[in-house]
Structure formats: structure tokens, C-alpha cells
């Protein structure tokens, strides 16, 4: 197996292509990573900046450089001894627009399309207007308004002789069964003749081939006579004339889709989306034919040695993640001698672990990001900060309570269609059984809603339609909470839904009775010589199992997006005790972790998934790794932080909007107390280390970045504005407040106060960042470096965290000087870059040491023991001791991120028995350390030059 030594994540798009990555190859080699790890490479919607809206799984994106560009990059990587891992998106595709051939085909042919089962479409919607149709919720206003305005137009594509309806960038094909009527609508002889082959067409597969042949004649006619005759057809359906508009409407009513206002999707969409994004449709990759079609390119690239592994995006969106991972590995393994490297994007709840029976190397690293992030927080700050936030928010609600409220809102306002799909699947099961046929849809709907609201993890993973003990551990929590919330009359429904959602297989006695009845019916039909062909005796059992598994999948595909939307996209923007804990994969109520907790997590990862990715920054993070590291310092200084908040709020009160109203209705001013407090945290976290408050251009650039974050944060909070119904006046007032408080004339007021506070916490924040970087590069697992974060990463949520990277700046900063030599100038971040390079060099020097080596927590003794963390790694004769400073805000003197040597006093690391290493070489300072007579390493020596140290019996090659 090709296990990466370290990966570097690159966000590819038309502004940064394969060739652009290739141009930086020398830098990547010098940095020391072993594999590039890219965002999706398949063809996405034109202009996509992320690649997650795939429209063609079978081709490499031309915007990125096409397959030739990909192969050029891979070849050069292999020449340099490196590899390539790609992100794949099996869960969803980009729809709408005009570029997804699969989606266009189902719009054209409906449920008889060759791709009708490629997407999770409910072709049997209870809504008569959607039966056999696909909802297309892409209109900017209501259907009638857009139709009357002439923005929905009938058009003709002369390149392949197709009629289609155009709306902005969206192209919806007209079914060929209507071509005869269209061509005959103008009573022109030439067109009447062309209409003949289209007469009597149906949507059946054989007639689809007839339509293809008929189109060829139409295409030949257009190539010979031009499109002028066709233009008469289009005019007959032009929307300006009421009669023509009505004709167009009737034509649209006959299609296999229903054009609709985008807001209808929340309630009526009849296909599975990615979360609540109506431009991304769920793919049924659990079907064998779909799986093969989705992965055909991946298999070919892996077989050809172009790629070495994959990162599976949003694995929890799949019907059966375990089965998917098994199938993926089974298909990849025979293609090459080297085994594939597979990691999955999986968000683990507090206390949850990745399942042992998934044949993958581990997760993409959000769990590690949470572990190390929590380690940086002082548990003593949790309650004081909670008190401060309660005073601002006017409530002492925990994050769990805030999240539960968010779940209710998201389920009711954003995912009600998904709830409906799951409830209807269960109600269908109820109707098919005599014992439960009187369970009403409303009672099942209420029950499913309560289960989803209280589900403690993203989802469960039943095997063969049955929940296992671990699934029950989580399901029982939701069931017990639902029982308390539901009326007594619904408890029988709850117990039955519990059974249908994997609690047990369909009842054997009931199935036996059903089988007997089925045989009796079959015999009677045979006697009557009806000619009806019946299924085998076990058909009802098969049907029951299929129905139960369908319901299970739909329920899991509801709980996963609900958990994500409620936490990451809502509650994280409502709860502001300390924003550094409001991160993907984290639980803000799990405020801090001890050193022992961190060691336990590392040892567990080494035991179960030793090759999982370790990350501290991603393309989806809410705040950059160094933004979070700085904000964590506030947990050590809650009193100072509370005083600063009060002072800044008073100082900036004149800049609030609608403050006169606020005197009557407290909290109605803009931005409001909670949004204002979160804004101050954000400014403290992302203020650049080298920004002078007098630098008008620099402050303005920062304000513009924060304004993007602010707009997203306000809408995600869904309190005074949201994405569905934006309050643009409130949003404008909030932006004006932001630009006012950062205006040049505030230099001697708020700007100086803000910069002064940042100066107070920035050294401790930098120390946290260096510790975080060191732990990521030395803990069990594969360290992942997100593009550009070799230097300070004070980014915010996307698109801020996907800004272009100045690789030239980073390449110019590479040299052989030890990180310790760069610490005095820590603000330029070269010390961080130097740590990354040195520790990647250590991983290259002895790959097995930090990849396979044993992990041993080390005891720290002395007065400041709680301010240090230490562990050892050993593989054969090679060993290393990793030491770091933590919770140092009150220990740092001056502006360097370093605790003075004398402050450590008697604090020392106790080395394991038998570790008689004559000399320890510090890879971060080039110093040589020696253990004292008690086989301990005094921190006054080990941490004299740097806040972190990596000591090894392996000397650097040139040392």
C-alpha cells in the first residue's frame, strides 16, 4: 500500500489548474510532502470554484487542464518520488444548468430514461402535479410571473435538433413525444413531413431509439434549409402573446418536469438533495450500474497508476457507507499491486468513533482537529466565558439546547421535504400490514420528526437492514427523547417505527401468513387461467426487506444533513461562548480536553486507524487554524476578555443602527448584542500579525474580508435574516456598523484598542499555533497540510479560506535555518514554515518512526507540569520525544511566543526506563540535549529556544 508520508491539499479551479500545480512542484518537493491531495478533478459546472458540483463523472475537467494535464502532473510527481490522491464525490451531482447529460435525459424521458434510477427521484409523489415528474425549483420568482414576463422560452438547438425550454442558464429538453405537435403547429408542408416520424412516439426505450432516428432527419433538414422554418414554431410559443403563452404553458405541463420557484424546493422537492442545496442532486451509487458509471474514470486512473488513492466526500450521504467502502476497495484492489489509500470525510460526534468494519485508512482528520483544538483551551475558562455569553445572549442555554432549537427550525423550514420522504416510506410499510394500516401519515410524520430532532450522531449504519449494538446505543437515545416528547397516543407508532428502522426484521409470523395468502391467490389465479405471472412465495419477504431498507436509508439521509445544517450552518452562528470551539467536527459544549484525553485519542487512532489523515485546516473550516489558536487564548483570560467586550460595546454604541428603536425594544438595533460580540471575536482572531491600525488600506482589506464572513454568519444564524428571505436592510446596517468601527477616524479609539488587545493575546496565540502544527506532524497518522497554511492561517469561512496562495512568497522563505532562529521574527510566520519543513524532513529521514512507531505518553513533573505536553515515538532503534508548551498566556513575558527558561523551574520530562540516549538532537533548534542523572529532561533546557521541541537520537544529515 502507498501510505502517504504527508499530504498537501490543493483547491483546483480554472484559476489554479494542473499546470499551475505542476509549476509549484519544486516548492512542494522542498517542503517535504509525499503526496498532493486535490479537490475533485471530474468535470463540474462551468466556472466551479470547488468541483463538488460534478456534471460528468467520466471526464477530467477541461477547465483544470483535462486528462492530459492531470497525467502531466502525475508523471512529474512520480518522477520526484511523489504520489497523487484525489477527492471523489459519489453522493451528488450538479443539476440545473445545461451540462449534466444524465439529468437532461431524465428531464426529457422521465421515468423511462436510462438514467431515471441514477438519481433518488420519487416518481410516485403523492402530489398529482409531480407524479412521474421531477421538480425543477430554479425560477427566481413564481412560475406564473416568470411565464408572463417571457423569461421562460421555447428554443431550438440546431446542433443536435432538440427543442428545449430555456430559463437563464437552465435548459430543460422537450420530450420528443411532443415534437410532432410542435412541427405541425405552423402548418408548413416541410415541417409536417418531418413531424411524421415523431407521430405516436411513447417514452418507452424502443421509441427513444425511433426518436433518435427521427432527429437525424430533422437535423439534416436544418443543415440544408436553416432554422428559419423552426423559428415559426418558436414564435407560436413565444410568451408575449397570451394565446402563445397559454400554448407554452400547456406544453410545459406535458413534460416530465415541473418548473417552479426556488422556494418551493423546501416543501416539494421530490428528489434527494445534498443537504438543502437544490443545485445538487443525490446519486444512487448503491446501485451496481450507477456505482460503475460514477467510478469508471477513477478505476481507470488508478489502474494506470495516475492516482494512488481517494478521499471520499460526504460518505454519510450514501445509502450504505459501509457497503460502499467495501465495494470501492474490492474494485480498486485487483487493479494494481499496491493497495489503494482510502479516507472518508466523516464527522464524528462527541464520543463517537469510526466503525471498525469500514475498510478504509480512516477519516480526513476532523476528529484530530477537534482533539488538538480542545487541548489548546483552558477548562477553567469555560464557566466564566459562559457567564459572559449569557449576559450578552440573555439566556444560559447550553450549545446542546441552542442546537436543538436550530434542529427544530431547520427541520421545519429547510428539510421538510426530506422529512416527508422518510415519513412516507414508513407510512407505506404501515399501510401494507393489517396490524398497522390505521397508523396515520401524520402520526408517523410526528414520530420520525422527533427521532430526527434528538438523534445524537449524524446517522446509524445497520447491516442487512438491522441495527447493531452500537447503532442501538445512539438510536435508543433518540427513541427515549422522542417518547418523552410525543403524546401518549403516538407511543405505539414510535415502537413500530423503531422496529421498521432496523429494530428487527419484518415479523416472521406475519410474513408466513402473507406468503400463504400469496400462494392461495396465485393458485386461484392459475385455476382461473388468468395468465397473471406471480412472484415466488418469498416475494412478500423480499418486498418487506426492501421497503425497510429504503426507509432506513431515507431516515439516515435525513438525520445526517439535519445534524450538519443545525450545528455547522445554524447553531455555530448563534452560540458564541468562544468561537474557536465552533468548528466542523467539534462540540462547543466539549470545551476543553486534558493532556491525558489527547494522549488517549492518539493511542486509539494508532491502534485502530494508524494511517488516518491529521488535519487542522480544510476547505470547509469555519476559521483558520491560527485564528482558532489565537481565540483559544481567551479561555485563559476570560476576565480581560469580558472587560474588553464591555469597553468596545460602549465605545462603538454611537455606530449602531436603529439605536433609538433599541431603547424601546432592547436588542432590535443592528447588529444586535450577539452578532456584535461575535464580530469582536472574529476581529481578534483574524487580525493579521503585521497589521498596523494606521494602515488604512490594510484595515480596509480586512474589513472587506470580515464583511463576507459577517453576511454569511448573519444568514446562517437564521435569526434576523436568512438565505430564504434575506433582510437586506438589516444586513446593510450590520455592514455599515462594521465599516464604521474600522474607519480610519477610529484609529485613536476602537482600532487602537482592538490592536492593543490583539498584541496582548497574539504571542500566546502563536505559541498555540506552533504547538498545534508540531502535534499534527508528530502524532499517529498522516499529516495533511491545507494549501498555504505553512504560513499564518488567519482565514475565515469560505470563500475566505479558498483565497489564492502566494507560493512564490513561501518558496522564497525556505532555507535551512532552524525554526528557533526565526522565532524572534515570529510575526512573519517563517518559524511555522520552518517547523513544517523540519518535521517533514524527519518523517522522510525515518518514515517508520512517526508513521508506525509506538506512542508513549510521558510524565511531566514539577510546578508547571500542567503547562506542558510530552510523548515519545519509537520504531526499532529510532526514537523521538515531542514536547510542547500549552496554556501559556499568563507565563509569557514580552512579545515572543516563548516562556522564559527560568520560569520552568524544576519542571521536567521523565524519560521511559531503558531510554539511555547519550545525546538528543532537537530538530527545531539544532541544539543537543542530554538527560540528567535521573533520566529526565528539564524544560528549562528543552524549551529554552522554542515553545516546542522534537528531540531524536537521529541527527539531521548535515548536523
pTM of the model: 0.93
Q: Do the Cβ atoms of 553 and 449 come closer than 8 Å?
A: no
Looking at the chain, the whole-number percentage of residues with pLDDT higher than 90 is: 89
Q: Is the pLDDT of residue 75 over 80?
A: yes
> DSSP code of 283?
B
Confidence of residue 532 (pLDDT cuts 50, 70, 90): very low
Q: Do the Cβ atoms of 385 and 577 come closer than 8 Å?
A: yes
Q: Is the pLDDT of residue 662 over 60?
A: no
524 or 635: which leads in pLDDT: 635
Q: pLDDT tens digit string along 885-919?
A: 999 999 999 899 999 999 999 999 999 988 888 89
Q: pLDDT tens digit string along 548-557?
A: 999 999 999 9
Stretch 504-513: mean pLDDT: 57
Stretch 272-280: mean pLDDT: 95
Name the nearest CA neighbour of 635 among 423, 380, 393. Answer: 380
Q: Which of 242-251, 271-280, 330-339, 535-544 has the lowest mean pLDDT?
A: 535-544
> Which residues neighbour 804 within 8 Å (Cβ) at sequence distance 6 or greater?
15, 16
Q: Do the Cβ atoms of 864 and 611 come closer than 8 Å?
A: no
Which secondary-structure segment (H or E) carries 885? Answer: strand 878-885
What's the CATH fold of domain 7-91+283-364? TIM Barrel (3.20.20)
Stretch 271-285: mean pLDDT: 96
> Which residues neighbour 851 within 8 Å (Cβ) at sequence distance 6 or greater?
3, 5, 610, 611, 782, 843
Quick one: pLDDT at residue 914? 84
Q: How far is CA 473 from CA 12, 352, 477, 502, in A?
A: 40, 11, 7, 13
Burial of 432 by CB count in 10 Å (0-12 exposed, 13-18 middle, 19+ buried)?
A: middle
Quick one: pLDDT at residue 527? 37
Distance separating alpha carbons of residues 228 and 204, to the nearest angstrom: 31
Q: Is the pLDDT of residue 524 over 50?
A: no
Q: pLDDT tens digit string along 556-605?
A: 999 999 999 999 999 999 999 999 999 999 999 999 999 999 999 999 99
Quick one: pLDDT at residue 659? 62
Q: Is the pLDDT of residue 365 over 80?
A: yes
Instruction: Compute, in degrees rounded to 10, the torsion defined by CA atoms 529, 535, 541, 546.
Output: -130
Quick one: pLDDT at residue 728? 96
Quick one: pLDDT at residue 310? 98
**For residue 799, is the peptide bond before it cis, meaning its omega torsion is within 30 degrees of 0?**
yes
Q: pLDDT tens digit string along 15-43?
A: 999 999 999 999 999 999 999 999 999 99
The domain segmentation of the chain, as residue ranges, is 7-91+283-364, 101-267, 373-397+578-760, 399-525+535-573, 852-952
Looking at the chain, the whole-number percentage of residues with pLDDT higher than 70 is: 95
Q: How many residues does the chain have?
A: 959
Which secondary-structure segment (H or E) carries 137? Answer: strand 134-139
Cell, residue 340: 489503494
Distance separating alpha carbons of residues 119 and 115, to the nearest angstrom: 7
What letters, b where the CB count within 10 A reaches 16 and e where it falls short, cover 29-55?
A: eebbbbbbbbbbbbbbbbebbbbbbbb
Q: Phi and psi at residue 874, in whole multiples of 5°?
A: -145, 135
Cell, residue 76: 512529474
Confidence of residue 827 (pLDDT cuts 50, 70, 90): very high
Distance separating alpha carbons of residues 632 and 769, to the nearest angstrom: 10
Mean model confidence pLDDT for the chain = 93
Confidence of residue 435 (pLDDT cuts 50, 70, 90): very high
Question: What is the secondary structure of 220-249 as a DSSP string?
Answer: HHHHHH-SHHHHHHHHHT-TTSHHHHHHHH
Stretch 515-544: mean pLDDT: 44
Confidence of residue 514 (pLDDT cuts 50, 70, 90): very low
Q: Which of 448-452, 462-466, 542-546 has the lowest mean pLDDT?
A: 542-546
CATH code for the domain defined by 852-952: 2.60.40
Q: Is the pLDDT of residue 292 over 50?
A: yes
Quick one: pLDDT at residue 504? 87
Same CATH fold assignment for domains 7-91+283-364 and 852-952: no
Distance separating alpha carbons of residues 333 and 310, to the nearest angstrom: 13
Quick one: pLDDT at residue 516? 44
Quick one: pLDDT at residue 663? 43
Quick one: pLDDT at residue 408? 97
Cell, residue 20: 499551475
514 or 938: which leads in pLDDT: 938
Half-sphere exposure of 761 (CA within 13 A, CB side): 29
Q: Is the pLDDT of residue 544 over 90?
A: no
> DSSP code of 499?
I
Distance separating alpha carbons of residues 862 and 908, to the nearest angstrom: 6
Name the nearest CA neighbour of 777 among 732, 840, 689. Answer: 840
H helix count then E strand count, the chain: 35, 27
Confidence of residue 837 (pLDDT cuts 50, 70, 90): very high
Quick one: pLDDT at residue 187? 81
Distance separating alpha carbons of residues 85 and 340, to the nearest angstrom: 10
Determine the angle formed by the axes of helices 382-393 and 673-686, rounding to 10 degrees: 140
Q: Do the Cβ atoms of 239 and 147 come closer than 8 Å?
A: yes
Q: pLDDT tens digit string along 212-225?
A: 999 999 999 999 98
Q: Is the pLDDT of residue 510 over 70?
A: no
Confidence of residue 533 (pLDDT cuts 50, 70, 90): very low
Confidence of residue 667 (pLDDT cuts 50, 70, 90): low
Residue 203: count of CB within 10 angstroms of its CB: 19
Quick one: pLDDT at residue 666? 53
What letters, b where the CB count within 10 A reaches 16 and e where it falls short, cover 889-901?
A: bebbeeebbbbee
341 Cα distance to chain centroid? 20
Angle (CA) 702 704 705, round 5°: 65
Stretch 236-260: mean pLDDT: 94
Cell, residue 594: 486534558
Quick one: pLDDT at residue 958? 59
DSSP 3-state of 893: coil
Amino acid at each position: 500500500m502507498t501510505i502517504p508520508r504527508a499530504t498537501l491539499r490543493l483547491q483546483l479551479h480554472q484559476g489554479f489548474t494542473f499546470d499551475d500545480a505542476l509549476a509549484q512542484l519544486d516548492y512542494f518537493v522542498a517542503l517535504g510532502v509525499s503526496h498532493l491531495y486535490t479537490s475533485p478533478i471530474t468535470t463540474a459546472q462551468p466556472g466551479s470554484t470547488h468541483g463538488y458540483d460534478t456534471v460528468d463523472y467520466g471526464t477530467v475537467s477541461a477547465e483544470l487542464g483535462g486528462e492530459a494535464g492531470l497525467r502531466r502532473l502525475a508523471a512529474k510527481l512520480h518522477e520526484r518520488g511523489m504520489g497523487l490522491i484525489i477527492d471523489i464525490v459519489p453522493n451528488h451531482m450538479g443539476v440545473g444548468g445545461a451540462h449534466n447529460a444524465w439529468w437532461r435525459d431524465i428531464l426529457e424521458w422521465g421515468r423511462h430514461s436510462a438514467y431515471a434510477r441514477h438519481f433518488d427521484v420519487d416518481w410516485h409523489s403523492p402530489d398529482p402535479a409531480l407524479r412521474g415528474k421531477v421538480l425543477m425549483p430554479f425560477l427566481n420568482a413564481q412560475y406564473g410571473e416568470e411565464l408572463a414576463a417571457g423569461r421562460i422560452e421555447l428554443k431550438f438547438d440546431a446542433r443536435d435538433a432538440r427543442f428545449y425550454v430555456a430559463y437563464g442558464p437552465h435548459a430543460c429538453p422537450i420530450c420528443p413525444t411532443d415534437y410532432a405537435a410542435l412541427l405541425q403547429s405552423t402548418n408548413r408542408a416541410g415541417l409536417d413531413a418531418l413531424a411524421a416520424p415523431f407521430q405516436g412516439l411513447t417514452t418507452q426505450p424502443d421509441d427513444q431509439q425511433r426518436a433518435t432516428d427521427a432527429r437525424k432527419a430533422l437535423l439534416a433538414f436544418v443543415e440544408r434549409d436553416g432554422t428559419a422554418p423552426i423559428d415559426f414554431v418558436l414564435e407560436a410559443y413565444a410568451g408575449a402573446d397570451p394565446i402563445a403563452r397559454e400554448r407554452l404553458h400547456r406544453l410545459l405541463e406535458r413534460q416530465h418536469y415541473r418548473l417552479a420557484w426556488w422556494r418551493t424546493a423546501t416543501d416539494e422537492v421530490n428528489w434527494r438533495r445534498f443537504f438543502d442545496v437544490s443545485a445538487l442532486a443525490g446519486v444512487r451509487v448503491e446501485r451496481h450500474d450507477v456505482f460503475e458509471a460514477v467510478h469508471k474514470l477513477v478505476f481507470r486512473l488508478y489502474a494506470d497508476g495516475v492516482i494512488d488513492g481517494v478521499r471520499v466526500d460526504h460518505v454519510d450521504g450514501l445509502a450504505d457507507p459501509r457497503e460502499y467502502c467495501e465495494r470501492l476497495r474490492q474494485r480498486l484492489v485487483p487493479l494494481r499491486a499496491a493497495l489503494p489509500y482510502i479516507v472518508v470525510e466523516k464527522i464524528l460526534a462527541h464520543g463517537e468513533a469510526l466503525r471498525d468494519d469500514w475498510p478504509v485508512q480512516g477519516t480526513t482528520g476532523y476528529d484530530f482537529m477537534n482533539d488538538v483544538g480542545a487541548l489548546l483551551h483552558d477548562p477553567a475558562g469555560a464557566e466564566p466565558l459562559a457567564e459572559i455569553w449569557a449576559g450578552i445572549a440573555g439566556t444560559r442555554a447550553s450549545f446542546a439546547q441552542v442546537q436543538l432549537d436550530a434542529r427544530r427550525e431547520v427541520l421545519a423550514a429547510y428539510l421538510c421535504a426530506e422529512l416527508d420522504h422518510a415519513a412516507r416510506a414508513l407510512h407505506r410499510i404501515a399501510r401494507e400490514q393489517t396490524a398497522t394500516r390505521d397508523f396515520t401519515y401524520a402520526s408517523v410524520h410526528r414520530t420520525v420528526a422527533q427521532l430526527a430532532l434528538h438523534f445524537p450522531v449524524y446517522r446509524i449504519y445497520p447491516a442487512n437492514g438491522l441495527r447493531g449494538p452500537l447503532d442501538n446505543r445512539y438510536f435508543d437515545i433518540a427513541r427515549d427523547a422522542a417518547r418523552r416528547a410525543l403524546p401518549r397516543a403516538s407511543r405505539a407508532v414510535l415502537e413500530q417505527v423503531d422496529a421498521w428502522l432496523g429494530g428487527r426484521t419484518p415479523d416472521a409470523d406475519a410474513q408466513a401468513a402473507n406468503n400463504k395468502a400469496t400462494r392461495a391467490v396465485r393458485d386461484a389465479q392459475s385455476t382461473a387461467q388468468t395468465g397473471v405471472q406471480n412472484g415466488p412465495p418469498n416475494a412478500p419477504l423480499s418486498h418487506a426487506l426492501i421497503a425497510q431498507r429504503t426507509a432506513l436509508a431515507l431516515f439516515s439521509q435525513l438525520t445526517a444533513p439535519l445534524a450538519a445544517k443545525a450545528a455547522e450552518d445554524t447553531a455555530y452562528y448563534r452560540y458564541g461562548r468562544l468561537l474557536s470551539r465552533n468548528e466542523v467536527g467539534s462540540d462547543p459544549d466539549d470545551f476543553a480536553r486534558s493532556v491525558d484525553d489527547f494522549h488517549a485519542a492518539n493511542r486509539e487512532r494508532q491502534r485502530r486507524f494508524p494511517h488516518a489523515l491529521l488535519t487542522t485546516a480544510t476547505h470547509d473550516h469555519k476559521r483558520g487554524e491560527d485564528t482558532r489558536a489565537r481565540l483559544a487564548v481567551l479561555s485563559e483570560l476570560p476576565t480581560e476578555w469580558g472587560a474588553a467586550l464591555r469597553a468596545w460595546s460602549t465605545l462603538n454604541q454611537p455606530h449602531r443602527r436603529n439605536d433609538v428603536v433599541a431603547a424601546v425594544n432592547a436588542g432590535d438595533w443592528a447588529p444586535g448584542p450577539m452578532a456584535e460580540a461575535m464580530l469582536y471575536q472574529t476581529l481578534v482572531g483574524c487580525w493579521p500579525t503585521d497589521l498596523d491600525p494606521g494602515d488604512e488600506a490594510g484595515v480596509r482589506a480586512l474589513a472587506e474580508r470580515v464583511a463576507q464572513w459577517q453576511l454569511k454568519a448573519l444568514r446562517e444564524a437564521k435569526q434576523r435574516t436568512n438565505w430564504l428571505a434575506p433582510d437586506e436592510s438589516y444586513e446593510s446596517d450590520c455592514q455599515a456598523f462594521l465599516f464604521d468601527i474600522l474607519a480610519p477616524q477610529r484609529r485613536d479609539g476602537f482600532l487602537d484598542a482592538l490592536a492593543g488587545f490583539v498584541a496582548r493575546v497574539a504571542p500566546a496565540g502563536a505559541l498555540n499555533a506552533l504547538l498545534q502544527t508540531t502535534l499534527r506532524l508528530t502524532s499517529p497518522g498522516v499529516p495533511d497540510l491545507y494549501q498555504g497554511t505553512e504560513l499564518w492561517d488567519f482565514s475565515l469561512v469560505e470563500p475566505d479560506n479558498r483565497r489564492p496562495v502566494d507560493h512564490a512568497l513561501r518558496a522564497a522563505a525556505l532555507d535551512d535555518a532552524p525554526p528557533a532562529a526565526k522565532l524572534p521574527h515570529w510575526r512573519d510566520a517563517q518559524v511555522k514554515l520552518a517547523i513544517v519543513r523540519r518535521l517533514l524532513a524527519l518523517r522522510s529521514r525515518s518514515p517508520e518512526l512517526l508513521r508506525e512507531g509506538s506512542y508513549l505518553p510521558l510524565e511531566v513533573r514539577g510546578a508547571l507540569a500542567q503547562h506542558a505536553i510530552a510523548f515519545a515515538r519509537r520504531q526499532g532503534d529510532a526514537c523521538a520525544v515531542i514536547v510542547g508548551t500549552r496554556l501559556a498566556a499568563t507565563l509569557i513575558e514580552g512579545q515572543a511566543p516563548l516562556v522564559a527558561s527560568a520560569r520552568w523551574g524544576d519542571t521536567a520530562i521523565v524519560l521511559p526506563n531503558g531510554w539511555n540516549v547519550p545525546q538528543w538532537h532537537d530538530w527545531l533548534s539544532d541544539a543537543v540535549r542530554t538527560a540528567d542523572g535521573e533520566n529526565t529532561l528539564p524544560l528549562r533546557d528543552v524549551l529554552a529556544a522554542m515553545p516546542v521541541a522534537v528531540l531524536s537520537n537521529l541527527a539531521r544529515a548535515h548536523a
